[in-house]
Structure 1
Amino acid sequence: MSANRSGKRILVLRYRFIGDTILTVPFLRNLRYAEPDAHIAWVVAPGSTDVVRDIPYVDEFIDWDPVTSFADCRGKHRTWADKYGFIQELRAQHFDKVYVLKRSFSSAVIAWLTGARARIGFNTEARGFLLTRRVPYRNDQHEVQNFLDVLRADGVPVLDDYLEAWLSDEEQAFAEQFFAANGIAAGEPVIGIHPFAANQSRAWHHDNFAEAANELQRRYGARIIVFGGRGDVELGQTLRERITPEPVLAVGTTSLRQTMAIIARCNVMLCNDSGIMHVTAALNTPLVALFGPQSPVKFGPWGKRCKVLYSAFPCSPCKQKFFEECSPSPRMKPQCMESISVQQVLDAVEQFEGVSSLERRA
């Protein structure tokens, strides 16, 4: 990240989940195009900065970490005194402009309390009076375009909209060592699966992932890598027992940055709707994404090498209050996820341009 710029001081508010964080990159890139001399600071959650490490469009990360039940947090800003101190730190920076990409009332309050004269954001949650420029929020377009609409409303030209992620030489070397340590030869086809989600009720059933993985190995002779976090270890072991030949596990043993480097070397990824799905799209790794309760129109993977499997039901998209809005299947999954068959997934991989490097077996 750069420093000592002499132009405007601009603050961007978009914090919490890693998926939302990576989807903010096109906004920041176009903002930097328009303001090459500005000091751009980005308020993010501490756990989300890793996914955009080495981003060249931002000069400063500012942690905002109140206690929340909706995402991982460390509670740095737990008390009212902590929150007051955070606002005082922002005010001391004398920002000229704040872009409020969060849609909550509280984020607009933070923008107003900074003292910045220009405050641009979505006209949601009756917070318009706290903003100097109010932008309509659309539910019928992708979140990337919603973010870019904030720039457009402020007269900033939007030149492109692609995702990006950055890997260091050390991280790429780690991936190479990981492959070698697990007996994956150079040029050997690799298919990654991320069968987990923050709420497993919205995930495709793990039996389906195991069946798909077994068939993909049979068809292509591909090695399977299972990705997941620390909370996914038990289910990861279950999948290891059900996939033959045994897959490589990267579940709870690799950092986010190391996981990204491994994903970048995969021929294809198969993911639930998750932050890892967005990371995969940003890395430009071919991707098949499985959607059910949430519409891919707003939060689907953003990229040219992405395929989405989605069955829209009359109740789609839902509020994800499982299972108040619909009856669960015998396997305790919503019917929209159960409607995605293993064959559909196999067909999607087969048709995907990214699988052209894999040799189909008889």
Structure 2
Amino acid sequence: MSQSLIIAPQWIGDAVMTEPLLRRLRARGERLTVGALPWVAPVYRAMPQVDEVIEFPFRHGGLQLRERRALGRQLQGRFANAYVLPNSIKSALLPFLAAIPRRVGYLGEARVGLLTHRLKNPGDKPPMVAFYSALSGEAGVDTDRPRLALPDAQVDEVVRAQGLVRGGYVVIAPGAEYGPAKRWPHFGAFAARLDRPAVLLGSAKEAELCDAILAQAPHRCVNLAGRTSLMEAFALIAGAGHVVSNDSGLMHVAAAFGVPQVALFGSSSPLHTPPLNERAQVVWLKQDPEYTPPLDCAPCFQRVCPLGHFRCLNDVLPERVAALVAGVR
């Protein structure tokens, strides 16, 4: 069995969308070690095909060449293959410094000398799962779907610790790291319409956002933003009866667990980063033939609405989302 090192992306949603690639590599006999930043590493611990996860001691920004050289020396001789999933030059440095013979990735940021096998970057914004899976060199990547798994006992333990019943609550994930143009403004009004408990999940940076939602539905919600580990958040999502979110990392987590979900899109596009889940319902006014006037500005992929009206998410009414959740139990 050949030994392979995977250099993971730095965002949770992107990490989830790499799972089909790892499944393909494992199926053809490669033993997989994933190198990931600490906040992304738990995603790979929910992938049964991953044999080992190395948490990188790196930070956002800068090459941190000294740290990469030191880790490269430690990894020399361990791996036959490296798959570099991000497009940055710094992500390709470690496999090069570790002298891994076969180094696969996309062209980008002057990485020609760092990679031995280079794929041309596709134009526009391709579906991300196919983008990553193409690094396997195999065909049929357009049909891949990410999957995550946790032991039932682990899920049940986390759910019970919050005084909840598995399948009897809704997870609300109101954040979106990219910016406010991806955040639906009506989560509080939606939560107030629910007939079940709601768990608010997110990072510590989103605790204030979740507090505002809690204030609109104090008898329905519990705010756990910043109060769980990522693995505990995964367990709460896996045990939920429904997940409602923006286009975010937790949206992709819910899809990979196969949980019923409503995914709300505004400035981004479900053609690029859809929740790949047969139980997902996507709301995107750009594709709604009954919505007028048409959203010619979408998708803009901006962090803040450049036109100032934010129609793409402002006009998604809470009763519409509540009806979708009520219709799928």
Q: CA deviation at 1:228?
A: 2.3
Out of 6, 23, 32, the position equivalent to 2:17 is 23
Partner of 2:213: 239
2-side partners of 1:114 and 1:315: how far apart? 46
Please state if 1:214 is matched with 2:192.
yes
**Greater CA drift, 122-131 or 272-281:** 122-131
1-side partners of 2:230 and 2:201: how far apart? 10
Q: How does 1:55-70 map to 2 (within 5 A)?
A: 55-68=47-60
Q: Which amino acid aligns with 1:190?
A: Y
Are the equivalent residues in 1 in contact too, given 2:181–2:266 (CA < 8 A)?
A: yes
Q: How does 1:182-261 map to 2 (within 5 A)?
A: 184=164, 189-206=168-185, 208-215=186-193, 217=194, 221-243=195-217, 245-261=219-235
2-side partners of 1:39 and 1:114: how far apart? 17
Partner of 2:8: 14
Aligned CA RMSD, in angstroms, stands at 2.8
Partner of 1:311: 285
Q: CA deviation at 1:113?
A: 3.1
Q: Which amino acid aligns with 1:47?
A: W
Please state if 1:345 is matched with 2:321.
yes
Q: CA deviation at 1:146?
A: 1.0
2-side partners of 1:109 and 1:225: how far apart? 41
Partner of 1:171: 154
Partner of 2:98: 114
1-side partners of 2:298 and 2:101: how far apart? 40
2-side partners of 1:116 and 1:186: how far apart? 45
2-side partners of 1:338 and 1:169: how far apart? 38
Partner of 1:162: 145
Larger radius of gyration: 1
1-side partners of 2:303 and 2:142: how far apart? 39
2-side partners of 1:159 and 1:294: how far apart? 20
Q: Deviations over 1:275-307 (max 9, x none)?
A: 111111111111111112222222221221112
Q: CA deviation at 1:144?
A: 0.9
1-side partners of 2:296 and 2:113: how far apart? 36
TM-score, normalised relative to structure 1: 0.78
Residues 94 and 162 (structure 1 numbering): CA distance in 2 closer, same or farther, change over 3 Å?
same
Runs (5+) with no aligned partner, structure 1 = 1-6, 70-76, 358-362
Alignment length, in residue pairs? 320
1-side partners of 2:46 and 2:256: how far apart? 14
Give the secondary-structure state (helix, strand or coil) at the position aligned to 2:39.
helix
Are the equivalent residues in 2 in contact too, given 1:30–1:159 (CA < 8 A)?
A: no
Q: Which amino acid aligns with 2:154?
A: E
Residues 140 and 244 (structure 1 numbering): CA distance in 2 closer, same or farther, change over 3 Å?
same
Q: Identity of counterpart residues, as a percentage? A: 27
1-side partners of 2:215 and 2:83: how far apart? 48
Are the equivalent residues in 1 in contact too, given 2:6–2:84 (CA < 8 A)?
A: yes
TM-score, normalised relative to structure 2: 0.85
Runs (5+) with no aligned partner, structure 2 = 287-294
